[in-house]
Amino acid sequence: MSANRHITITEVALRDGSHAIAHQYTVEQVLQVAKALNDAGIPYIEVSHGDGLAGSSLQYGLSRTDEFELIEAAVSVCDQAKVAVLLLPGIGTVKELKQAHKLGAKLARIATHVTEADVSAQHLQYAKELGMETVGFLMMSHMAPVETLVEQAKLMESYGADTVYVVDSAGALLPHEVTARISALRDSLGVQIGFHGHNNLSLAMANTLAAIEAGATRIDGSVRCLGAGAGNTQTEVLIAVLDRMGISTGVDLYQIMDLAEDIVAPILQVPQEITRDSLVLGYAGVYSSFRLHAQRAAAKFGIDSRDILIELGKRKVVGGQEDMILDVAAEIAQARHASVK
């Protein structure tokens, strides 16, 4: 891997990390984290509900604080970093996108399932009309062959995406699979390529380095690994590794280490680690934010959460189908009950 390269980091602890704390961020926490990230030199800070704009709901989890208050708070302390928002068409609408832009968000990341890029057209085009930078975010990228991924990425590029991301939402990809996907996009697109990893199989860093080796220049990280499942590629570790490799990020290593230790760590309800449930997410290829939902369903029906996650993987359930988790749990419990009669 050649030195003198530059990688642009987007910090996702204030969005993906929302899953890890059941969407309980306060304005004060966001002010503290965003200011420290800005001062450390992070160029993009994503802020929204874990499931994107308008995600606060009974289905996805209710936010403690209105996300627009959090976006406004982050913008108020960022004089260098740009605030980004995530939007999943069908959850968020152009109305929320317009409001986020009005509050000062500069980057719109439009996320779809890996085979459904066509639903991003309206939102990517509208974000461009607003003058925002745009990212196409292809989630659950392990669920489609490389050829399909390329087709979908080309659609996002045609709609106006400045960058297209390979998103390993389940933390299920292996390094050689990341290399194949990033290389194919690099060879097929004229826009920047990004990568967003999860650590459910302890491969977030390895996968991120594979992505960079293959040509990705936009990388997501999360301080203290704060994210859904076992978390994301850990930003402060990534900065250290890239520095060792002679790859620039513009981020101050000591400052990003200090904010992870002193500001973000106390926010965590439990340490981000690879538990049996988050491991199963990666093993079964299940959306990382399903972990807490599956644990609650398992407790309700008196069954093993791993059985729920494995079955969800077999059925290829994706983000947006959270209602299926209770259905699957009920079916498993009913089958167990019938077998013991």
Q: What's the DSSP call for residue 261?
A: I
pLDDT recorded at residue 37: 98
Mean of pLDDT values over 63-71: 91
Q: What is the Cα 58 distance to its own chain's centre? A: 20
**Segment 246-258, tens digit of pLDDT:** 999 999 999 999 9
Residue 113, beta-bridge partner list? 139
Q: Is 176 tagged catalytic?
A: no
* Percent residues over pLDDT 90 in the chain: 85
pLDDT at 55: 82
Whole-prediction pTM: 0.93
Cα 249 to Cα 150: distance, rounded to the nearest angstrom = 27
Q: What is the pLDDT of the chain when averaged over all its residues?
A: 94
Least Cα distance to 211 among 178, 174, 165 occurs for: 178
* CATH T-level topology, domain 8-266: TIM Barrel (3.20.20)
Please state the length of the chain.
Answer: 341
Look at residue 158 in the predicted model and tell me its pLDDT: 98
Q: Compute the Cα dihedral for 34, 54, 133, 243 and give only its sign.
A: positive
pLDDT at 50: 87
Tell me what the mean pLDDT of segment 190-201 comes to. Answer: 98
Q: Tell me how far CA of residue 127 lies from CA of 8, 92, 134, 239, in angstroms.
A: 20, 13, 7, 30
- Give span(s): CATH 1.10.8.60, the chain: 289-339
**Quick one: CA torsion of 74, 229, 89, 106, rounded to 10 degrees?**
20
Q: Right CATH number for 289-339 from 3.40.50.720, 1.10.287.70, 3.40.190.10, 1.10.8.60?
A: 1.10.8.60
pLDDT in tens, 141-180: 999 999 999 999 999 999 999 999 999 999 999 999 999 9
pLDDT tens digits for 299-339?
999 999 999 999 999 998 887 778 889 999 999 999 987 87
**Is the pLDDT at 4 greater than 80, yes or no?**
no
Q: State the average pLDDT over residues 48-64.
A: 80
Given 6, 19, 196, 337, the catalytic residue: 19
User: What's the rounded mean pLDDT across residues 208-216?
Assistant: 98
**Closest by alpha carbon to 89, among 137, 46, 152, 40?**
137
pLDDT at 1: 53
**pLDDT band of 3, cuts 50, 70, 90:** low
Q: What is the structure's pLDDT at 338?
A: 80
Identify any residues that bridge with 194 across adjacent strands, giving them in sequence order.
Answer: 165, 218
Mean pLDDT of 125-134: 98
Parts of the chain belonging to CATH 3.20.20.70: 8-266
Asked if the model's pLDDT at residue 62 lies above 90, the reply is no
